Amino acid sequence: MSVDRTTWEHGDAPLNLLVLGAVVHGFTIPLVWVALDHTGNSDTRARMWLVLRLLEALPARRWKGLVADREFIGAEWFRFLRRKGIRRAIRIRKDTVLDELSADEWFGELQPGQFRMIAERTTVFGESMRVVATRSPAGDLVIIATDFHVWETWQLYKLRWTIESTFGSQKSRGFDLERTGVTDPRRLERLFGLVTLAWLACLRVGVWRHEAKPIRVLAHGRKAMSVVRYGSEELRHVLRWVPKRISEILHVLICPFPALGQPETEVVSY
């Protein structure tokens, strides 16, 4: 699972959505969300409420874990996740105190591409956790408080970027969600739900189409388009030019996603 916010402005009205979802096929499928009535970071209560909503439908034993960026830290939040049986891989700030030293003091000498772990579990916001770190090629220090082993932590944390891919395809690179004039929080939540359903249809069709005819890979190694765009183009083509295939598309949409091996990620960001 991955949690993050997406925010934009309409005139003087800031729009701020907190979203929790499942990582599938290089994207995060939004499962629960709430429109915040303020700008800036989410608060612990809003995060807890979102997790509790999802736990009603998806028990913690079915979660691999939760990945999140530096906004999603704090003693109450970390303790809540542990009590609910949710394993964590959460990036922490470099000024976070770990056994009387800041994280920056523990890992400040790391060079790009190097990895390091504090040998024993340490206290992070009151919780006993492993702490691992690396420095990105751009020089950013990436420090993760985790309940997973070192290698698994990095594989999972790289998937955090999938929620950014989802937001991008729902907004400027796809459905242009930020062009809405809707500012009422409850209406915005309903609109986001409708956009998510349409987006999910494109993703499902794109995955199905990619299995039959893989997306072309360009010379630089990236795919010519995302699976969401691939599915969108297929849907438009069928609805406009081949209506006899609509029943085939409907069958695809009601079928579950195929079983996954290693989740697919096209972009990794620190």
Q: Are residues 194 and 246 in the same domain?
A: yes
Classify burial at 135, counting beta carbons within 10 Å of its beta carbon; exposed 0-12, middle 13-18, buried 19 or more: buried
Same structural domain, 135 and 188: no
> What pLDDT is stored for residue 256 in this prediction?
79
Q: What is the average pLDDT value for the chain, to the nearest integer?
A: 92
Distances (CA, A) of 267 to 14, 123, 142: 28, 32, 16
- Tell me the pLDDT tens digit for each residue of 126-138: 999 999 999 998 9
Q: Is residue 235 assigned to a domain?
A: yes
Q: Is 223 contained in some domain?
A: yes
Q: Is 47 exposed, middle or buried (0-12, 13-18, 19+ CB in 10 A)?
A: buried
Instruction: Encode pLDDT of 180-207 as tens digits.
Output: 999 999 999 999 999 999 999 999 999 9
- Summarised one tens digit per residue, pLDDT across range 51-89 is 999 999 999 999 999 999 999 999 999 999 999 999 999
Contact criterion met (CB below 8 Å) for 89 and 1:
no
Domain assignment of residue 162, yes or no: no
Assess if residue 138 is contained within a domain: yes
**What total of structural domains would you count in the chain?**
2
3-state helix, strand, coil in the chain (%, to 5): 40, 25, 35
Task: Report which secondary-structure segment, H or E, holds 186.
Answer: helix 185-212
In this structure, the answer to whether residues 197 and 137 fall within a common structural domain is no
Average pLDDT on 163-182 reads 93
As a whole number, mean pLDDT of residues 10-15 equals 85
Mean of the pLDDT values across residues 248-268? Answer: 66
- Same domain? 205 vs 141: no
17-56 tens-digit pLDDT: 999 999 998 899 999 999 998 889 999 999 999 999 999 9
Give which of 202, 207, 185, 252 is closest to 7, Cα–Cα.
Answer: 185
Residue 109's domain comprises 89-146
For the whole model, what pTM was predicted?
Answer: 0.90
What's the confidence (pLDDT) of residue 257?
Answer: 76
Give the span between the Cα atoms of 49 and 13, in whole angstroms. Answer: 24
Strand, coil or helix: 251: helix
Whether the Cβ atoms of residue 122 and residue 101 lie closer than 8 Å to each other: no
- Give 156's pLDDT tier (boundaries 50, 70, 90): very high
Is residue 58 a part of any domain in this protein?
no
Q: Does a structural domain hold residue 200?
A: yes
Judge if 201 and 141 occupy the same domain. Answer: no
Phi, psi of 97 (to 5 degrees): -85, 125
Q: Is the dihedral of CA 155, 64, 52, 79 positive or negative?
A: negative
Residue 99 falls inside a structural domain:
yes
DSSP bridge partners of 101: 98
Domain-embedded: residue 160: no
